Amino acid sequence: MTMTDKKRCAHWILFLLFVFFVGTPDLLHATQPSNRFKLTSNDDCLVCHSDESLSMEKNGKPLSLYVDEKVLGVSPHKKLECISCHDGFNPEDLPHKEDIKPIDCMTCHKDAKIKHLFHPQIFQSNSNSTGKDVNCKSCHGTHDAKPYKNIARSSSILVCAKCHVPQNNEYNAGIHSYGLGAHEKPSCINCHSAQITKGSFGSDKVRLKTAQQELCLNCHIDTPENKARFTVNKGFITEPTKNTHSKLVASGNGEAAGCVDCHGSHKISKTDDSTSTVVAGNILNTCGRCHADQKKEYEGSVHFDAFAKKIKDAPVCSNCHNEHKPLDVATAKVCGTCHEPVELSTEYALSNNKTKVFKNTYHGLTVKGDVVTVSNCNSCHGSHAIVDSEKPASSVNKKNLQATCGKCHPGAGADFASGNIHKTPGKVKKPEVKRTEEPGTSWSGTFLMIGLVVAGVALLIGLVKIIRKKKSV
């Protein structure tokens, strides 16, 4: 090889090396797009996407592609690059990606399904589901996503109201919305961060009602923490597990009433609100949904007659059956609340001190001695169907007393049932003796007669003394 040929070969080598080092970067970019995309900054994307008029057509409708840089700047995602979420987009191609799929938030938020127990349908969905109840952006937004701490209270109500309109209207009409201070008001997330809906438990009513009760007691149980926390609500529950309904649920009875069955879920009103499900005017219907037979009996009683006349102190279900503070309704203690005090008896034209006297009878004394097999108020008068004793249907009507007493005293006759059960034994009132005068007599004549008799006796004594004196002489 001549010197000239060697020089020509060296020139070609230098040329090839130049082409290699200059041309290779573009070749690498073309063959390794992921490296090329990492060099793309948000500023590169915003060159086009900061234009408010930028849009595209999707499913026959215009779709805005505008991104507000200020909104993006306060997002919890502000430190991320666009391509961190918009994976596989090539900024040099239009469109940037042929098959555009929804962003998969669970790529980073892998625990999202566990944190969204109030939407159990999320468990059955996949990362690309488009339904509004399983798609992250339906609640959290896109570029305007807010940190969780800003959604948890008041903002969550507005977010949830987008889909749950009826529930939001009920909530706004309830005490949880208008009756509490700003820091005390529960939001949707405060309650629904736990599993408390039918969708979470299916047909398992016991677990559902147990979960609901535990949630309500977080705020309503009587603890020093709750008393210090709340300034409005002071009606705390002291013994939540000792009432009848709670015991039934705990024993496995899913049909027993829970908090929601009586108070409702979203529209929970104050107990003195006319729209409340547990106010005196409505509680009969509330309890009657489960206790239909007892409601029917009550509607034939003297208590219902007073209730129908809108007498404010007429007893309804909650007066005798205080659900949050259970009482033994089979004793004179409950009945005596209205039937013992003289002032109430006078006001409602009731017989004075019926229960006060009853305590001193054999029945009353035995009950007081904790013997529960003998009669008490409802043993004779009934519990819900308490009828005026003057009416034939009353269990204490004179015509029915023999049968009523005979339930405990077999063979009781008519004379047995004729006594007054409320009368104190051993204290028989003496009959009043009425003085009468014979015709033509008067008190003045009586005194004159007595005077004449006394004078006659004195005269006789005097004569006897004179005779004895003469004989002695």
Specify the long-range contacts of residues 314-321, CB closer than 8 Å, at least 24 apart: 314/280, 316/280, 316/283, 316/284, 317/283, 317/284, 317/287, 318/278, 318/280, 318/283, 321/244
Residue 159 lies in a domain: no
Q: Last residue of some domain: 100, 123, 147?
A: 100
At residue 66, what are phi and psi to the nearest 5 degrees? -75, 135
Residue 32 lies in a domain: yes
* Alpha carbon distance 132, 142 (integer Å): 13
Q: Does 292 have pLDDT greater than 90?
A: yes
- What are the residues facing 57 on neighbouring strands? 62
Q: Does 236 have pLDDT greater than 80?
A: yes
* Alpha carbon distance 334, 328 (integer Å): 7
User: In total, how many domains does the chain have?
Assistant: 2
For residue range 313-335, list pLDDT tens digits in order: 899 998 888 888 765 565 556 78
Side-chain-facing half-sphere of 181: CA atoms under 13 Å: 7
Please state which of the ranges 30-44, 86-100, 172-186, 382-396 shows the lowest mean pLDDT.
30-44
Angle of the 154-161 helix axis to the 165-172 helix axis, nearest 10: 140
* Alpha carbon distance 30, 24 (integer Å): 10
The pLDDT assigned to 34 comes to 42
Residue 400 lies in a domain: yes
Going by the DSSP 8-state scheme, the letter that residue 121 receives in this structure is: G
Q: Does 144 have pLDDT greater than 80?
A: yes
- The burial of 334, by beta-carbon neighbours within 10 Å (0-12 exposed, 13-18 middle, 19 or more buried), is given as buried
Residue 376 lies in a domain: yes
* Alpha carbon distance 82, 67 (integer Å): 11
Determine the 3-state secondary structure of 389 from DSSP: coil
Q: Last residue of some domain: 100, 125, 158?
A: 100
Question: What's at 395, amino acid-wise?
Answer: S
pTM for the full model?
A: 0.67
Q: Does 220 have pLDDT greater than 70?
A: yes
Please state which of the ranges 148-152, 261-265, 396-400, 403-407 shows the lowest mean pLDDT.
148-152
Residue 108 lies in a domain: no
Q: Does 120 have pLDDT greater than 70?
A: yes
Nearest CA to 318 out of 351, 282, 267 is that of 282
Going by the DSSP 8-state scheme, the letter that residue 226 receives in this structure is: H
Residue 366 lies in a domain: yes
The pLDDT assigned to 119 comes to 82
| Distance from chain centroid for Cα 389 | 38
Residue 283 lies in a domain: no
- Distance set, CA 104 to CA 67, 86, 93 (Å): 19, 9, 22
Domain that holds residue 338: 328-429
Q: Does 192 have pLDDT greater than 50?
A: yes
Ramachandran category for residue 5: left, alpha or beta (phi over 0 → left; psi -120 to 50 → alpha): alpha
Q: Where are the alpha helices (H) located in 42-81, listed in sequence order?
A: 42-49, 69-73
Residue 244: CB partners within 8 Å, gap ≥ 6?
Answer: 256, 321, 323, 326
pLDDT above 70 coverage of the chain, percent: 70
C-beta of residue 191 within 8 angstroms of C-beta of residue 240: no
For residue range 10-46, list pLDDT tens digits in order: 555 554 554 444 444 444 333 334 434 444 688 888 9
More confident residue, 304 or 104: 304
Q: Does 347 have pLDDT greater than 70?
A: no
Give Rg (Cα) of the chain. 46
| Distance from chain centroid for Cα 70 | 44
Q: What is the mean pLDDT of residues 35-64?
A: 80
Residue 450 lies in a domain: no
Nearest CA to 192 out of 221, 224, 229, 164 is that of 164
Nearest CA to 105 out of 89, 74, 129, 73 is that of 129
* Alpha carbon distance 186, 102 (integer Å): 33
Nearest CA to 357 out of 282, 420, 403 is that of 420
Q: Which of 72-86, 121-135, 343-357 has the highest average model confidence (pLDDT)? A: 72-86
Element (H, E) at 63: strand 61-64
